Structure 1
Amino acid sequence: MGGSGTDGTNAGKRPNEQLASWFVRSGWSKGELARQVNRRARQLGAHHISTDTSRVRRWLDGEQPREPIPRILSELFSERFGTVVAVEDLGLRAAHQSPSVSGVDLPWAGPQTVSLLSEFSRSDLMLARRGFLGTSLTLAAGPSLIEPMQRWLVPAPAADHADPPPPARRPHRLSKAELDMLESTTAMFRTWDAQSGGGLRRKAVVGQLHEVTDLLQEPQPAAISERLFRCAAELAELAGWMSYDVGLQPTAQKYFVLALHAAKEAGDKPLGSYILSSMSRQMIHLGRPDDALELIHLAQYGSRDCATARTQAMLYAMEARAYANMGQPGKCKRAVRMAEDTFADAGLDGEPDPDWIRFFNEAELNGENSHSYRDLAYFAGRSPTYASLAEPVMQRAVDLFAVDAEHQRSYALNLVGMATVHLLKREPEQAMDKARQALDVAGRVRSERVNTRLRKTVDTAVRDFGEVPEVTDITELLAKKLPETAEAV
Structure 2
Amino acid sequence: MGVAETDASTFWQPIDQYVAPVPDKIGTSDVAHVEALTDAMRLVDDKHGGGACRDAIAAQVRWSQQLLTTQMAEVTRKRLLIALADLHVVAGWSSFDLGMHTVAASYFKRALDLSRAGDNWALTATVLYTMARLHLHIGMPGVGLRFLQLGQIAAQSSGSPFMVSLICVNEAWAHAMMDNRRQMEQSLVRAADELHAADDNQPRRWPRFYGQGELHAMTGTAQSALPSADDALLDSARQNLEHSFTERGDEHPRSSALALPILALTDLRLGNIDAGLDRAGRALSAARQINSARIVDRLTPLANHLGAVATTGALDIQAGINALQGAS
Is TM-score (shorter-chain normalized) higher than 0.5?
yes
Matches of 1:416 and 1:317, distance apart in 2 = 19
Answering whether residue 221 of structure 2 is matched by residue 371 of structure 1, we say: yes
Equivalent position to 1:465, from 309, 316, 320: 309
Aligned residue runs from structure 1 range 39-54, under 5 A: none
Answering whether residue 263 of structure 2 is matched by residue 418 of structure 1, we say: yes
Answering whether residue 123 of structure 2 is matched by residue 271 of structure 1, we say: yes
- Residue in structure 2 matched with residue 475 of structure 1 by the alignment: 318
Total equivalences in the alignment: 309
- Residue in structure 1 matched with residue 6 of structure 2 by the alignment: none
Matches of 2:183 and 2:60, distance apart in 1 = 41
- What amino acid sits opposite 1:383 in the alignment? D
- The answer to whether the Cα contact below 8 Å between 2:92 and 2:104 also exists between their aligned partners in 1 is yes
- In terms of fraction of residues, the more helix-rich structure is 2
Matches of 2:321 and 2:142, distance apart in 1 = 34
- The answer to whether the Cα contact below 8 Å between 2:132 and 2:144 also exists between their aligned partners in 1 is yes
Post-superposition offset of 1:407: 0.8
Equivalent position to 2:286, from 420, 428, 441: 441
Post-superposition offset of 1:360: 1.0
Tell me, what secondary structure is at the counterpart of 1:446?
Answer: coil
- Residue in structure 2 matched with residue 396 of structure 1 by the alignment: 243
TM-score normalized by the length of structure 1? 0.60
1:103-140 superposed Cα distances (whole Å, 9 cap, x missing partner): xxxxxxxxxxxxxxxxxxxxxx97xxxxxxxxxxxxxx
Tell me, what secondary structure is at the counterpart of 1:358?
Answer: coil
Matches of 2:154 and 2:98, distance apart in 1 = 29
- The answer to whether the Cα contact below 8 Å between 1:428 and 1:471 also exists between their aligned partners in 2 is no
Matches of 1:242 and 1:424, distance apart in 2 = 31
Flag the 1:218–1:300 CA change in 2: closer, same or farther, 3 A: same
What residue ranges of structure 2 are gaps of 5+ in the alignment? 1-15
Matches of 1:259 and 1:431, distance apart in 2 = 39
Aligned residue runs from structure 1 range 1-400, under 5 A: 172-347=24-199, 351-354=202-205, 356-376=206-226, 379-380=227-228, 383-400=230-247
Answering whether residue 273 of structure 2 is matched by residue 428 of structure 1, we say: yes
1:300-330 superposed Cα distances (whole Å, 9 cap, x missing partner): 1133132422111101111111111121111
- Residue in structure 1 matched with residue 295 of structure 2 by the alignment: 450
Matches of 1:301 and 1:193, distance apart in 2 = 28
- The answer to whether the Cα contact below 8 Å between 1:171 and 1:218 also exists between their aligned partners in 2 is yes
- What amino acid sits opposite 1:371 in the alignment? T
Matches of 1:307 and 1:432, distance apart in 2 = 43
Matches of 1:458 and 1:483, distance apart in 2 = 10
- The answer to whether the Cα contact below 8 Å between 1:197 and 1:446 also exists between their aligned partners in 2 is yes
1:343-362 superposed Cα distances (whole Å, 9 cap, x missing partner): 112226x64111x4121122
CA RMSD of the aligned region, Å? 2.0
TM-score normalized by the length of structure 2? 0.88
- The answer to whether the Cα contact below 8 Å between 1:423 and 1:431 also exists between their aligned partners in 2 is yes
- The answer to whether the Cα contact below 8 Å between 1:415 and 1:435 also exists between their aligned partners in 2 is yes
- Residue in structure 2 matched with residue 161 of structure 1 by the alignment: none
- How many percent of aligned residue pairs carry the same amino acid? 25
1:10-39 superposed Cα distances (whole Å, 9 cap, x missing partner): xxxxxxxxxxxxxxxxxxxxxxxxxxxxxx
- The answer to whether the Cα contact below 8 Å between 2:224 and 2:237 also exists between their aligned partners in 1 is yes
- What amino acid sits opposite 2:119 in the alignment? G
- The answer to whether the Cα contact below 8 Å between 1:383 and 1:424 also exists between their aligned partners in 2 is no
Tell me, what secondary structure is at the counterpart of 2:50?
Answer: coil
Tell me, what secondary structure is at the counterpart of 1:267?
Answer: coil
Tell me, what secondary structure is at the counterpart of 1:273?
Answer: helix
Tell me, what secondary structure is at the counterpart of 1:271?
Answer: helix
Q: Which moved more, 1:220-229 or 1:265-274?
A: 220-229
Matches of 1:226 and 1:451, distance apart in 2 = 39
- Residue in structure 1 matched with residue 327 of structure 2 by the alignment: 485
Post-superposition offset of 1:184: 1.4
- The answer to whether the Cα contact below 8 Å between 1:212 and 1:228 also exists between their aligned partners in 2 is no
Tell me, what secondary structure is at the counterpart of 1:184?
Answer: helix
